[in-house]
A and B are shown apart, each in its own frame.
Chain A
Amino acid sequence: MKRHLLEAADLDRADATLVLDTAAQIDQALAGREVKKLPTLRGRTVVNLFYEDSTRTRISFELAAKRLSADVINFSAKGSSVSKGESLKDTALTLEAMGSDAIVVRHSASGAPHRLANWVRGSVVNAGDGTHEHPTQALLDAYTIRRRLGRLDGVRVAVVGDVLHSRVARSNVWLLTTLGAEVTLVAPPTLLPVGVGSWPVTVSYDLDAVLPKADVVMMLRVQLERMNASFFPSAREYSRRYGLDAVRMAALGDDAIVMHPGPMNRGMEIAADVADSVRSTIVEQVGNGVSVRMAVLYLLLGGNA
């Protein structure tokens, strides 16, 4: 593994597989235990540096670090020196001076973790940067698919929704294709980036045509504000054309699964009965997130002093 986890595009097949295998072993080691704690990272300090609110991701990383016995500092940009204009660099240097071994960073600016990695000696883990990447989400998605379907090679994954603004979509495109999956992006053309043609994916504007051939349907969160910028005319039209409801779900193959990175807009991109169906892996994804993040922290921090 490299020193940092900045983007899924960085991971080769061996690295990505190592993370998934390590997560599986950690799951196995902790299965059925009362005390879900390992001493692995005792004495190491992990800082959660969150410039955007994301309770779910922060808690997941926090739990992962704590289960590996690392000390965890949560540094939320809200109500801290950051909001008083302290630069990302100054904050990074301060955290480093306090002895952080790893910084888990969530930032609204694409590339912020890359900048951070230039300024600190410790490891940097990208917990979501702007509309760029969210590599641990993709890793946990890949882990979830592998657990459910037993493989990733040749698995047909449909990623549906606001690809343009989605870091989850980008990370999944790179990671899943690296691991041998076949990815189809499904969205209205307004929500696909110009330049998507250079990605190793198939693009479709027609969800109904894609569903029968999908082993995995990954629904992306769609923000209603996009409507105001004319990315689509109305919530109703969006969900009619690109939402996953029970009728559409019936078109899926018997073993196909439905994923969502959360938080969901029930009734918008996904119907409530779909989210709660047996096909849905949404709750499982949350649990797998902790194991995958433990694996990432172990692999980044376990070795280097």
Chain B
Amino acid sequence: MAGSPVPVPESTVLLGPADVARVVDRMAHQLIEKAGDSLADLVLVGIPTRGAPLARRLAARVEAFSGARVDTGTVDITLYRDDLRLRGVRALEDTVLPPAGVDGRLVVLVDDVLFSGRSVRAALDALRDLGRPRAVQLAVLVDRGHRELPIRADYVGKNLPTSRAQKVRVHLAETDGTDEVLVTEGAG
């Protein structure tokens, strides 16, 4: 099931469609700047569900700003999670790599929210089974803190200090019909 877009009364919209677009643009600029000569090697690999369209958007913006073609892919991490017992089974999503693969390339994992860091760890494990990139970086739309693992993002769209009880939701047009970032109070 895709995350529920049902509006909750106490939800606060932190970023609207224009904000999301601006943040993605900024991240694309940062990527171009930081990647430098590696831009040709760059692969943006989204973590489903919302990391996948986010990676494609980022790639499109990088291409628009730099003129370089950027490969994208997705890597489903469900079978690599260490919390299956807690979260239960879910339908698997696509794992698709560009035809040239990831060996020797600069892979940037793309996700919507960085929280405990467990998804990223699972993605790193999955990536290890898929090839041997030269380097792996991480791009997230929102970093909300509360890390449980020594993981840090290289590109952050927006830092959002939150309490653990709060819930951060990212909606994207491709999956939810609209672009927005919401914070919900309490256990949602």
Binding site for B on A (CB under 8 A): 1, 18, 21-22, 25-26, 28-29, 33, 35, 37-40, 68, 298-299, 302-305
Contact = CB atoms under 8 A, between A and B. Distances in A.
Contacts of B81: 40
A40 B87 CA distance: 13
Contacts of B8: none
Interface string B69-95: 000000010111100110111011111
Given A22-B91, A28-B94, A302-B88, A39 B130 contact: no
A33 B129 contact: yes
A40 B80 contact: yes
Contact of B84 (A21, A28, A29, A303): A303
Contact of B76 (A18, A25, A303, A305): A25
B92 A25 contact: yes
Contact of B79 (A1, A18, A21, A38): A38
Contact of B89 (A26, A33, A302): A302
Contacts of A298: 79, 89
B43 to A, nearest CB: 16
Contact of A38 (B80, B88, B96): B80
A21 B92 contact: yes
Contacts of B19: none
B91 A68 contact: no
A164 to B, nearest CB: 36
Given A25-B92, A33-B129, A38-B79, 17 more contacts: A18-B91, A22-B92, A25-B76, A25-B91, A25-B95, A26-B79, A28-B94, A28-B96, A35-B129, A40-B79, A40-B81, A68-B79, A302-B84, A302-B88, A303-B84, A303-B89, A305-B85
Contacts, number: 51
Contacts of B125: 39
A299 B81 CA distance: 14
Contacts of B78: 40
B91 A29 contact: no
A241 B130 CA distance: 51
Contacts of B76: 25, 29
Nearest to A31: B95
15 contacts: A21-B91, A22-B92, A25-B93, A25-B94, A26-B79, A28-B95, A29-B76, A33-B130, A40-B79, A40-B84, A299-B89, A303-B88, A303-B89, A304-B85, A305-B85
A29 B95 contact: yes
A-B CB proximity, top 8 nearest: A25-B92, A303-B88, A302-B89, A303-B89, A29-B95, A305-B85, A40-B79, A38-B79
Contacts of B94: 25, 28
A26 B92 contact: yes
Nearest to B86: A305
B139 to A, nearest CB: 22
B85 A1 contact: no
Contacts of A22: 91-92
Which among A25, A26, A33, A299 has the greatest number of chain B C-beta atoms within 10 A? A25
A29 B92 contact: yes
Contacts of A305: 85
Nearest to B80: A39
Contacts of B92: 21-22, 25-26, 29
A18 B92 CA distance: 9
A298 B85 CA distance: 11
Which among B78, B84, B130 has the greatest number of chain A C-beta atoms within 10 A? B84
